[in-house]
Amino acid sequence: MNKKEIQRKRTKKYFIDAAKEIIEKKGVKNVTAREVGEKAGYSYATIYNYFDDLNDLFFCCIDDYMESCYEYILSNLESKDPVKRITEMGSLYFNYFTDNPNQFNLIFTEELGKPKEKLDKGKYIPSVGFMLNDALNLCSNKGIIKKENIQIITDLMVNFIHGKLLFYIKREAEDLDILKKNIESEILFLIKKGEN
């Protein structure tokens, strides 16, 4: 990487970090190119030398947020038992987004149009997805679940956890501790059904 590429990458990161700061404090609906530019130390028009539009910038923020979620889960996982590890992953994932609702809203509820590059056409699988897949494969290798049930368990887990997050973040209708216990019970139920 030459100096110009390094400078371009660094400047792009300034804009991403500035946008993330605004998203976390005010929510994605309150992000403007002008404020991102000011926080990054550049003219707002400079953003468009690095991103097609604000949505392009938001997709870069999404990538960073999903990696932050992965790092949070990885640093807080304690159990070596594969089943317990999966329930911990679900609980930690849920915790991460209840603590960061503006990130959840950007990633899962905001209308951003079609993603660019690696996020396009389903090519992008966040690291947390690989982590879950590895844990389910370990369960399969130990005879806890059947290999052919891994994908359906993954899909069901993703759907019910995101559904609970959506209702909690948008309505805070249920007690957080009860939701976490329900998630653990539902994951254990899926794993038990996965052995059939």
Q: What pLDDT score was predicted for residue 162?
A: 92
- Lowest-confidence region among 65-69, 118-122, 127-131: 118-122
Query: What's the pLDDT at 87?
Result: 94
pLDDT of residue 111: 84
Spatial contact of 126 and 143, defined as CB atoms under 8 Å apart: no
- Residue 112 CA to residue 90 CA, distance in Å, equals 26
Sequence ranges of the chain with CATH classification 1.10.10.60: 1-51
Architecture per CATH, domain 53-193, reads as Orthogonal Bundle (1.10)
* pLDDT tens per residue across span 127-147: 778 888 899 999 999 999 999
Pinpoint the residues of the chain covered by CATH 1.10.357.10: 53-193
Domain 1-51 in this protein, CATH class: mainly alpha
What's the pLDDT at 6? Answer: 87
| Average pLDDT score, the chain | 88
Residue 196 above 70 pLDDT? no
Confidence (pTM): 0.87
